Structure 1
Amino acid sequence: MKVSVMTVFSGSVFTMDVEGKATFAFEAKNFREAFELCKEDWVRDDLSAITSNGLPLCSSTAKLTVRRADEAEIAIYRKAAIQAQTEDLVLAYLVNLD
């Protein structure tokens, strides 16, 4: 008998854009909760430390915005969330990371 672990998606999937570029997808209960992530210091710190093509994903002055994820971004997020097998916040990066 095969037992599968089911991940429950309880919110909507949003995308964090850095200077207009889709950077990662994540789940939040609503737009207000998603937008709060833009204000979190740890998000900017992490994005400043992570690089893509040798460049940081974010600068200290970069504009961070959120929007509802499109279908392709939702699929990337759901795959990452299932693989993560965690109750914690999952960030599914939409850019190639170094």
Structure 2
Amino acid sequence: MARSDPAQFDARQADHYPFLSGIALARPFQIFALEIDGRPALTFAAANLAEADAICMDPHLRSDLCGLTSAGAPVCSANSTLSARAADQREIAAFEHAVSRSPVSDEPTMAFLIKVDGVVVVTIDP
């Protein structure tokens, strides 16, 4: 896979990306960054930009983000703008790092790009 398309993956490439072992690869996906008021906050996988935008509009995600703080300030508010864009190389690396250290799960993985108060990162060995 050429990295000129910075975040496109599919099932044929699973052997080259062992960090994806916990993700169901039934379809191609891309890595996206979720921005909160223009600030990159987390990364996640979605099939395309339309699906990524739908994830950003999820009221449960917004509610969860509104309950978090970073350096004492709310990460998100009810009026914050949540938007998705293709992740850059640094953000893709952060996502890959998080997925490689996550236990195998059918649930989606999201990797924070910001420090979240009260969150302790734990590496789980198999």
Percent identity, aligned pairs only?
30
1:50 maps to what in 2? 68
* Structure 2 gap ranges (5+): 1-17, 118-126
Q: Which runs of 4+ in 1 moved over 3 A?
A: none
2:105 maps to what in 1? 86
Greater RCO (CA < 8 Å, at least 6 residues apart) = 1
Q: Does 1:11 align with 2:11?
A: no
Report the Cα distance in structure 1 between the residues aligned to 2:67 and 2:34, rounded to whole angstroms. 16
Q: Does 1:20 align with 2:38?
A: yes
The number of aligned residues is: 93
Counterpart amino acid of residue 81 in structure 1? V
Deviation per CA, 1:9-40, whole angstroms, max 9, x where unpaired? 64100000000000000000111111101210
Report the Cα distance in structure 2 between the residues aligned to 1:83 and 1:76, rounded to whole angstroms. 11
Counterpart amino acid of residue 59 in structure 1? S
RMSD: 1.3
1:37 maps to what in 2? 55
2:115 maps to what in 1? 96
With structure 2 as the length reference, what TM-score do the two structures score?
Answer: 0.70
Three-state SS of the structure 2 residue aligned to 1:14 is: strand
How far has the Cα of 1:97 moved from its partner?
1.0
With structure 1 as the length reference, what TM-score do the two structures score?
Answer: 0.88
How far has the Cα of 1:87 moved from its partner?
2.3
Residue 73 of structure 1, aligned match among 76, 80, 91: 91
